[in-house]
Structure 1
């Protein structure tokens, strides 16, 4: 029987993506993502925030660095990966992170793009509030990796 390792999250970026370049000019970026849940405990409303470590590679990492900023809301799909390393003191450490395979910008287009110009009276203000609909997928081809 096949196994499944799939993660789907909707949350806010805790910081701007940090980019690094590895041997062979391979791009990797990482950032934290916060997801929150609300529940009642003893009659009081409680909010619990979980922080996730996200890693993206190659073209997807380049798109993340270009479009994602601290505080922005995104939808992300990926898989869990746990790795271990030895710290400076010689202790073995384990890190669990989500390897992003795709992400989608959520919110108004103005949340991700600088304003082009002031709306005129003839423009429909509802049009300005439509959700952004741009998907960014992991691209293993030699294409330019643009989402459109």
Structure 2
């Protein structure tokens, strides 16, 4: 069986860092993730996904990622339940993130927000002029025979 999640989205709020009674760091946050398709009105819908991350990764996330940051996470889906103050059983489904990656610099995010979501000065195509237009350098084509392939 497999339980694996990979998400890319923007933080809807600053991560909320807390510590358990055993002094283990835990941060909760929510990611806004756009769907790949448009609705009947031609607009993309967004899912807001509750997430939690533990230990050193939680502290790192709380220190470096702020509301609006574009991040990628890997983890797993978890369901749990608890009894609220009114004695009712509450069920929670969330993503337990195991790793995260910042996908843009803070300067890029702040610059793009100040210019309506797009900052031309930070969106530059890589230059390949030194490599004769080849993004992989001056390497020659690989010499591989069909008999060398494992399939």
Which of 54, 64, 69 in structure 2 is aligned with 1:67?
Answer: 64
Q: 1: CA distance between counterparts of 2:104 and 2:85?
A: 42
Equivalent position to 2:83, from 81, 86, 93: 86
1:111-142 superposed Cα distances (whole Å, 9 cap, x missing partner): 479xxxxxxxxxxx779999xxxxxxxxxxxx
Which protein has the bigger helix share?
2
Runs of 4 or more above 2 Å deviation: 108-113, 125-130
**Residue 49 (structure 2) aligns with:** 52
SS at match of 1:62: helix
Aligned partners of 1:75 and 1:88: how far apart in 2? 35
Structure 2 regions of 5+ residues with no counterpart?
111-120, 127-151
- Figure out how many residues of one structure are paired with residues of the other and give that number: 115
| Alpha-carbon distance in 2 for matches of 1:56, 1:28 | 6
In structure 1, the residue matched to 2:38 is: 39
Whole-angstrom CA distance in 2 between matches of 1:24 and 1:129: 49
Q: Which residue of 2 aligns with 1:11?
A: 9
What RMSD in Å do the two structures reach over aligned CA positions? Answer: 2.4
TM-score of the superposed pair, with normalisation by structure 1:
0.70
Which residue matches 2:94? 97
Higher-Rg member (1/2):
2
Residue in structure 1 matched with residue 105 of structure 2 by the alignment: 108
8 Å CA contact 2:74–2:98 kept in 1: the answer is: yes
Return the structure number with greater strand share: 1
